[in-house]
Amino acid sequence: MSNSVSGKTHALGQTPTEWTEWCRDEGLSGFRVDQIIKAIFSERIQSFDNATTLPKELRIKLDRDFFLRSFVSNKKQVSIDGSVKFLNKMQDHKSVESVFMPWHEENPDRPVRTTLCISSQVGCAVDCAFCATGKMGFGRNMTAGEIVEQVIVAEELLGEKVTNLVFMGMGEPLLNHNAVFKAIEIFTQDYATIVYPKKITVSTSGIMKNISRLAQLPKYVKLAISLHATTNGMRDRIMPINRKSPISDLMQTVEDYYRVTKLPVTYEYIPFDGLNDTYEDAKRLAKIAKRVPSRVNIIPFNDISFTNPTGYAAKLKPTPMHRILEFAGEVRAEGGVVTVRDTFGSDIDAACGQLALSDRTVDSHTLS
């Protein structure tokens, strides 16, 4: 899928440099770049006719060359915990999901931060045993405009500002690194910042060469490693990508990333009953976590039985919560920093690992 529909280009997928080049080609003054970007990303116009800060002739040119929205429909599912899952259908009728998660502390009516978990691919080729998305297979890469549009549409439909952004939805972000890196540039642009760089996290199963490329971006973002095992034998079984990026090599790449960015790393770890939740695993996990400043997010295994898993995936069972808490304590006792993650949206198949276009829809909206 290209960034073009009917000969027009997705305006949400344009970087400041690309807007500068377009304005130059149209014989426009440089200050128009700032005006165009602010109209699109600050004023959130849905039609170029609404860009009243721009002269009519310029609005006509913009409408000639660009479109502002590519999603043709949107379905919204609301969880009992307040999280919201969006099913976004794109121009080619392929769909992706994103999940909005409000984090509350003292005031239950006012979230202290809001996180949107966004997708980067239709489906996924990595095929981790615990992840529903992998059971779909790989459809296609998303464009930068489609990636950015997930945030714009979520904020429009909810009336909420997204403060944190995580590339942890459908797909492996670093297998679509060109579009993901371009989207990060757009999210963090100086003209109209959507999300600040240190509020963005890219989660990867271990695409090492593109972790290195991520460290070369002008604005550093946080890195999360989908780890889930402390030995190559176990990780090979639950994450086939480990055969190309074994733990020792991956950890060296993580160290290199930290050396450049100086940003703490997150390790994501799902305990499976009797497989990767032993005391020895806890010791090895703490050792890994201490190689650079980092945090381990322990995530309860969420049900993916609705995908009818087969093979090794069918053998995975969740570690009981009491053992998860013990395991977390063992990692801490060995010097690791650990958080046991809350589960958001499991009642609507929106929790970690569950995104696979299941549809228990409570609200539907057709986008203009």
Positions marked active-site: 97, 352
| Cα(121)–Cα(180) distance, integer angstroms | 10
CA nearest neighbour of 46 among 155, 181, 143: 155
Strand partners, 117: 99, 166
How many CA within 13 A on the CB side of residue 39?
A: 23
pLDDT at 108: 54
How many CA within 13 A on the CB side of residue 278?
A: 10
pLDDT at 1: 54
pLDDT at 352: 55
Instruction: List C-alpha distances in Å: 175 to 1, 126, 259.
Output: 15, 9, 23
Entry pTM: 0.90
pLDDT at 351: 44
| Cα(153)–Cα(51) distance, integer angstroms | 18
| Domains in the chain: ranges and CATH | 4-67 (1.10.150.530), 73-365 (3.20.20.70)
pLDDT at 364: 40
pLDDT at 253: 98
| Degrees, nearest 5: CA angle 154-357-182 | 50
pLDDT at 77: 85
| Cα(362)–Cα(100) distance, integer angstroms | 15
**Tens digits of pLDDT across the chain (368 residues):** 555 567 899 999 999 999 999 999 999 999 999 999 999 999 999 999 999 999 999 999 999 999 999 999 888 888 888 889 999 999 999 999 999 988 755 445 555 789 999 999 999 999 898 887 877 789 999 999 999 999 999 999 999 899 999 999 999 999 999 999 999 999 999 999 999 999 999 999 999 999 999 999 999 999 999 999 999 999 999 999 999 999 999 999 999 999 999 999 999 999 999 999 999 999 999 999 999 999 999 999 877 666 667 777 788 899 999 999 999 999 999 999 999 987 654 454 444 544 445 554 444 433 33
**Axis-axis angle for helices 31-41, 16-25 (nearest 10):** 130
Q: What are phi and psi of 190, to 5 degrees?
A: -70, -30
